[in-house]
């Protein structure tokens, strides 16, 4: 996932997002710099769906409507020929969610900068500081989407959770939050939200896909594809399960706290598909744990001692 050589049709976008309990401001960091030269800002919260009928829980960074996404593309000066390169200031954290959004609406000329801004700086590349550049405008063709088979609703998740594990139609749900939150041992970072998990889902923390940051490498980045497949295969329950999902053309569903780090797993699966020519179909539970746990009727499974 390298950053492409700059051309007139290449546009870097800062897609940084920080956890709700973080003191950092993604917008302030972008405006002050450092940032990749000519980069514009793509805010997944700003472009999110806000209508009550489509976002009844008033959640952040939900997939927008096609019209809302089209307006955002035009505001950023993006057209069909623009190759968008997404990055964040962690390395790999929020940029995969932005990529998922672009692809869900059919803009396929899009990449993630593996290692993000910290890697860009570490490797000696030029950066900008201070005032950001002017934003152009464009006319973008009609946008279709989001692709229905890429998204799961609350109702679909509840229905799936009620199926016995022996049901051949059940979709395996991978929860990418830290294991202690999945088990109900540690609290959620969002106030008054209980921890635990959707019945029948499996824990696979998103950090397992990544090479962690260190003193010598101040960024996270994806592991090699062979390791990504091993992580995902083990997370699903082994090679037999992986092969069964692929052969039956079933989907795996990625979830997390709010639909952000779930996309790290989604992109890992796409990298496997790109490398090997096949991988399970996949979808995101867009609301993820926040939307599920906010509903009073939701059944919450816990394997720990934490009580909200």
The domain ranges of the chain are 10-122, 148-294
Confidence (pLDDT) at 58: 85
**CA of 217: how far to CAs of 2, 122, 214, 231, in Å?**
17, 8, 5, 22
Which of 256, 264, 272, 294 is catalytic? The answer is 256
CA nearest 162: which of 199, 203, 201? 199
CATH 3.40.50.2300 fits 148-294, yes or no: no
Instruction: Identify the three-state secondary structure at position 73.
Output: helix
Contact 150, 104 (CB under 8 A): yes
CA nearest 97: which of 16, 204, 213? 16
Confidence (pLDDT) at 8: 55
Q: Which of 3.40.250.10, 3.40.50.12780, 3.40.50.970, 3.40.50.300 would CATH assign to domain 10-122?
A: 3.40.250.10
Q: Computed from CA positions of residues 7, 8, 10, 14, in that sequence, does the dihedral angle turn out positive or negative? A: positive
Instruction: Identify the three-state secondary structure at position 143.
Output: coil
| 166 burial level (CB within 10 Å; 0-12, 13-18, 19+) | exposed
Tell me how far apart the alpha carbons of residues 307 and 302 are, in angstroms, rounded to a whole number: 9
Could you check whether 10-122 and 148-294 share the same CATH topology? yes
Tell me which residue has tokens 């780090």. Answer: 261
Q: Which residues pair with 84 in a beta bridge?
A: 11, 110
Q: Which residues pair with 281 in a beta bridge?
A: 251
Label the pairing between strands 151-152 and 281-285: parallel
CA nearest 108: which of 73, 87, 84, 77? 84
Confidence (pLDDT) at 143: 93
What string of pLDDT tens digits covers the 308 residues of the chain? Answer: 433 344 458 999 999 999 988 999 999 999 999 999 999 999 999 999 887 788 888 898 999 999 999 999 999 999 999 999 999 999 999 999 999 999 999 999 999 999 999 999 999 999 999 988 778 899 999 999 999 999 999 999 999 999 999 999 999 999 999 999 999 999 999 999 999 999 999 999 999 999 999 999 999 999 999 999 999 999 999 999 999 999 999 999 999 999 999 999 999 999 999 999 999 999 999 999 999 999 999 999 998 543 44
Confidence (pLDDT) at 52: 76
Global pTM reads 0.94
Contact 94, 17 (CB under 8 A): yes
Confidence (pLDDT) at 51: 79
Confidence (pLDDT) at 304: 58
Tell me how far apart the alpha carbons of residues 53 and 51 are, in angstroms, rounded to a whole number: 6
Q: Does residue 146 have a cis bond before it (omega within 30 degrees)?
A: yes
Catalytic site includes residue 256: yes
Confidence (pLDDT) at 308: 42
């Amino acid at each position: 996932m390298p950053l492409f050589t700059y051309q007139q049709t290449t546009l870097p976008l800062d897609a940084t997002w920080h956890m709700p309990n973080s003191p950092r401001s993604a917008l302030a960091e972008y405006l002050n710099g450092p940032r990749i030269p000519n980069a514009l800002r793509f805010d997944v919260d700003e472009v999110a769906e806000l209508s009550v009928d489509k976002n009844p829980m008033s959640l952040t960074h939900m997939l927008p409507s096609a019209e809302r996404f089209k307006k955002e593309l035009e505001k950023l000066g993006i057209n069909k020929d623009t190759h968008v390169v997404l990055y964040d200031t962690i390395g790999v954290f929020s940029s995969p969610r932005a990529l998922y959004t672009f692809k869900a609406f059919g803009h396929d000329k899009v990449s993630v900068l593996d290692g993000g801004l910290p890697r860009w700086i570490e490797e000696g590349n030029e950066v900008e500081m201070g005032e950001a550049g002017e934003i152009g405008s464009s006319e973008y063709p009609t946008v279709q989407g989001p692709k229905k088979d890429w998204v799961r609703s609350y109702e679909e998740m509840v229905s799936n959770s009620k199926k016995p594990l022996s049901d051949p139609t059940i979709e395996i749900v991978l929860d990418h939050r830290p294991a202690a939150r999945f088990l109900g041992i540690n609290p959620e970072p969002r106030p008054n939200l209980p921890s635990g998990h959707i019945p029948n889902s499996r824990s696979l923390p998103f950090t397992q896909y990544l090479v962690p940051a260190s003193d010598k490498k101040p960024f996270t980045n994806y592991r090699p594809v062979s390791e990504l497949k091993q992580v995902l295969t083990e997370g699903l329950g082994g090679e037999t399960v992986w092969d069964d999902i692929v052969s039956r053309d079933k989907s795996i569903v990625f979830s997390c706290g709010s639909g952000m780090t779930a996309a790290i797993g989604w992109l890992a699966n796409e990298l496997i598909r790109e490398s090997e020519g096949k991988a399970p179909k996949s979808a995101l539970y867009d609301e993820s744990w926040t939307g599920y746990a906010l509903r009073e009727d939701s059944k919450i499974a816990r394997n720990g001692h934490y009580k909200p």
